[in-house]
Structure 1
Amino acid sequence: MKIITPLKTGVLLLGLALAGGGCAKNKDVDPSITNIAVTNPDFQLLEDAAIRGGVAITLGNKNPNDPQGNYTVFAPNNAAFNRLGVREAVDLTALQPDFLTKTLLYHVYSGSLAGSALAAGSTSASLLGPTRRIITRADGSKYVNGSKILGTDVKAANGLVHPIDKVMIATGGNVVESAVALQSAKVFTQPELTLLVAAVVKCNLAGLLSQPGPYTVFAPTDQAFRDAGYPTVDYINNLTPAQVTALTGVLANHVLAGNLGNKFSPELPDGTSVTTFGGGSLQLGTFSNGVLTIKSRGISTPANLAIPDVQCTNGVVHVIDRVLRP
């Protein structure tokens, strides 16, 4: 399918709007951050997202809140958007515009944040508000949250660009609020995690998972719950007391706390067994290409990270494709 015409028209208009400043008139002048995306085919989907999310003009101009007029952008490449199911511009319509705008702002720092400043354990504020942290693995690879930093210090007329391999997501809410945002179609235009939210409410765990934590939560998709024998919200709402007790144990097997709480995928102790909040155990697979598998005793096929590394105010949520039965 071809890229939809309105977005391409937007690119042309954007180019004209920036011609007087952000767009270079000779090869010795750095392009703006927006024009780097426009001219680099590896950032085609970032370009489309920036237009749809209303931040293209902002990143094509100087930052009025920085003395040097600079922004720093952690820039997801096309493959990063592919991980979310976005393969062409029209796929962005599956995301709510407000969520898309906030997601893009989470990738932006006000000022210059050079690659040399991206030290392990350091954090940086975003235009959205929530911070991001830098993680370094034993092999020397460097990540911002769960996204691998593929390069640093691509110079622009209005700042710096650091390419990354995954789109970063921060909800601005706690674990429960974040799940409810998905359930109420405030993230995707189609509801998701509806069965998880119903299960958490039925088992009276919403209060616990709203506490400071921190938690690392593996959140099964609706299809994962259906595959595990929980077909509808009504079915969950009508569970017997004994079934609720069993479901509570299942949910507790999806939560890590203590020193395992608030862990992005590159921070999880891959290749090891970890103890869950409910006292069960999970076997974490090998970390590869930014993800790993999770195996519990009650399932034969490990779960995959469908949407990893969602930053919440009291931890990190990883959306998975199977229910982790104890």
Structure 2
Amino acid sequence: MLKITKMMAVAATAAVMLTSCEKYDNELPSIAAIAVAGADFSTLEAAAIQGGVAVTLSNKNAGDPSGNFTVFAPTNAAFARLGLVDAGSLGVLQNSFLTNTLLYHVSNGNLLNSALTTGSTSGSALGGLTRRIITRGADKYINGSKILATDVKASNGTVHVIDKVLLATGTNIVASAQLLSTAKVFKNPELTFLVQAVVTSGLATVLSDPASNFTIYAPTDAAFRAAGFPNVAAVAAAPPAVLQQVLLNHAVGTGRFTSEQTGLTATTAGGGTLTYSAFNNGVFTIKSNGIMTPANMVIPDIQCSNGIVHVIDRVLLP
């Protein structure tokens, strides 16, 4: 679990360095050096090296007149929420996905905390994809990630510390699931059962429509097996109408990050009701009428071009 005292120490160290070197900006550590020096950023450091962005974040930003970057930096605990606990565990990811994910955390110029206002958006270095700023009580979020510390100065920009890794695919919900199912994200495919269910049910067109905007709860392969589907072939052989009813129970109109979910119930696209637990450390559980044990979030807050996907560990049976 994140130790806020360590995080405060990192921010305080940076502040002291800023005070003592305010006339000599090049004596501040670079963004990459802050990651190297901070005990809570060792996984980020390893990811930056593996993803090929460490050198870039060690230097001035040639693509911006200010020469600066802004980086939203996930802590070790943020990576651990995805099962990525050290440099070795990053090997389950494809390098191209890791690089794109890191770029989604980067902006050009200095984007200070004062500019992170509710309802505003922030561009990223990943193909111009944007992130949105959300306030929940006294806390501020970028997408579904809580901002823990702000305005840590570096010689080449600004660092904000966050508690979850930001994820975006740049494509629609169906194509995003297909990326996971064809080992474009994890080297071991995931969501293969879900992709087959979407195809067999005939819902692929609806869920890939750029004009749509859904929150989708996407069951893992293990969740489908636990629900009685031993393999992908069993999903393909299921009646399309049954699969459609089940899948519609996983879709809620309007794409919302976890930080934007305020009610305790929601009506699904199939007319069912989902019940949410209280918001807890950036996530909540989801229960449907057809299951006894609520589903947990495995990977929350994946931004797609037509909605938000939360990967869960149970099938939400109607």
Per the normalisation by structure 1, the TM-score is 0.88
CA RMSD of aligned residues (A): 1.0
Q: What do the CA deviations read for 1:14-46 (whole angstroms, capped 9, x no partner)?
A: xxxxxxxxxx9xx73210000000011110000
Cross-structure match for 1:262:
255
Q: What does the per-residue CA deviation read over 1:271-316, in whole Å, with 9 as the maximum and x for residues that have no partner? A: x211001100000111011100001010000001110000000000
In the alignment, the residues of structure 2 paired with residue 48 and residue 268 of structure 1 have an alpha-carbon distance, to the nearest angstrom, of 33
Given residue 214 of structure 1, which amino acid in structure 2 is its aligned partner?
A: N
Aligned to 2:185: 187
Residue 13 of structure 1: aligned partner = none
* CA deviations over 1:57-92 (Å, ceiling 9, x no partner): 000000012111000000000000001101110100
1:319 and 2:318 correspond: no
Segments of 5+ residues of structure 1 without an aligned counterpart are 1-23
* Structure 2 partner of 1:42: 40
Question: Does residue 230 in structure 1 map to residue 229 in structure 2?
Answer: yes
Are positions 1:164 and 2:162 aligned together?
Answer: yes
Contact 1:176–1:206 (8 Å) recurs in 2:
yes
Question: Which position in structure 1 is the counterpart of 2:8?
Answer: none
1:131-155 Cα offsets, whole Å, 9 max, x none, are 0000001x21010000000010000
Specify the code of the residue in structure 2 equivalent to 1:175. Answer: I
| DSSP 3-state at the match of 2:240 | helix
Aligned equivalents of 2:95 and 2:50: distance in 1? Answer: 7
Corresponding position of 2:72: 74
Matches within 5 A, 1:72-151: 72-128=70-126, 129-137=128-136, 139-151=137-149
**What is the number of residues matched between the two proteins?**
293
Aligned equivalents of 1:94, 1:80: Cα separation in 2: 16
**Paired AA for residue 57 in structure 1:** V
SS at match of 2:148: coil
TM-score (norm 2): 0.91
Read off the aligned partner of 2:149 and give its amino acid letter.
Answer: G
Look up the match of 1:251: 247
Q: Is the 8 A contact 1:269 1:284 kept in 2?
A: no
Report the identity percentage: 58
Question: What amino acid is aligned across from residue 104 of structure 2 in structure 1?
Answer: Y
Structure 2 residue 297 is matched with structure 1 residue 277:
no
Displaced runs of 4 or more, over 2 A: none
Q: Distance in 2 between matches of 1:238 and 1:297?
A: 24
